[in-house]
Amino acid sequence: MAKLKIVKYGDETLRRVCRPVDKITPRILTLLDDMVETMRDANGCGLAAPQVGVLRRIAVVEVEEGNPIELINPRIIAYSGTQCEEEGCLSLPGEWGKTVRPAHVTVRALNRFGEEFDITGSDLLARALCHELDHLDGKLFIDRLAKE
């Protein structure tokens, strides 16, 4: 595994829409492993492929230590409620702001074996899932700052 360089705010890669993964190759598996290592090294709870310069619909989330969630071609299939909490981003170090997100979300994605699965999360997990999926569409948390 290798630690990857995290793309910082201002790099146009962060504003691009990512392409779906057509085939899960050894390169994709290595990317997943490297993204988990990079996220942990940076003390983050999520990382999306464009944050490491790869324009593919891939993200990893880990809100419970030791339990990373790998998401390939993820999409939100259900959401409910609202929460307004502080958010930050590894691509915007030191920047924080309150965002409005769903309180509960269900995401459908593929795992590293190409199997479809659903994950439902609340609170921090819901926020992290939404945050990372936003990255795949070229959106950043600063685009969703709560109106005071």
Instruction: List the catalytic residues.
Output: 132
The contacts of residue 28 (CB under 8 Å, 6+ apart) are 21, 56, 58, 72, 112
From CA 44, how far away is CA 22, in angstroms rounded?
A: 27
